[in-house]
Amino acid sequence: MTSGVGGVNSGAGTLEGTLSKWTNVMKGWQYRFFVLDENAGLLSYYTSKEKMMKGVRRGCVRLKDAVIGIDDQEDNTFTITVDHKTFHFQAQHSEEREKWVRRLEDTIRRHANRSRMWESQSTFYLGGYHKDSSNKRANYLEILGRRVSEADAYLQLMIEQTNVIEKRIAAITDPNEKQKCKALQDNASYESTYILVEQLLLGFPH
């Protein structure tokens, strides 16, 4: 097997570094630059760090409801299984694998707790509206779960687009032009946040 290269950089809410990712039988293990966003619950990967800086993402793995697997035969490999699909990864050594696995598991637990909190709060509030109707309460819980999933998907798109825009604005040399673009970005962020909240609440009784 090919070993991963490069170190692991850790920051507040993020972890980034190079791992090898299994692609297919023909191509085997391929080096990829990974960025773990713990707040978004997303593991993004790029063909290189330079591509990451430009916002050119190769793909991503959603960590909500994901399961981490450890290969007892290899001390530097692990898997992520989510949505009936398994991704295979290889670190440079066991210590590096341990760091990635620990942070990934922490992220998965955080988002699992967040989902349980949503469900608990939904049951409380919706139960107050429909004390005598378990069917209606179940329907509203189902709607809430769907709205949260849709809002989460929209949030991931917002995060990705914001990162790309920020990198492009940073590359602008004209101060006036940069200020105008920054103002447009701030206004767009406000509108996107409004849409996100509207997406979550749409269809619920007020």
Residue 133 in domain: no
Residue 37 in domain: yes
CA angle at residue 149 from 129 to 82, to 5 degrees? 130
pTM > 0.85: no
* Alpha helices for the chain (secondary structure H): 49-53, 94-129, 134-170, 175-201
**What's the domain range around 196?**
139-201
Of 74, 57, 64, the residue nearest 160 (C-alpha): 57
| Residue 129 pLDDT > 90 | no
Residue 180's pLDDT band (boundaries 50, 70, 90)? confident
Mean local confidence (pLDDT), 15-22: 94
Distance CA 90, CA 22 (A): 8
More confident position, 194 or 165: 165
Q: Does residue 119 share a domain with residue 185?
A: no
**Lowest-pLDDT range of 14-18, 30-34, 38-42, 184-188:** 184-188
- Tell which of 125, 159, 188 closes a domain: 125
pLDDT per position as a tens digit, 76-99: 999 999 989 999 999 999 999 999
More confident position, 116 or 68: 68
pLDDT value of residue 165:
75
Residue 132 in domain: no
Amino acid identity of residue 133, one-letter, is S
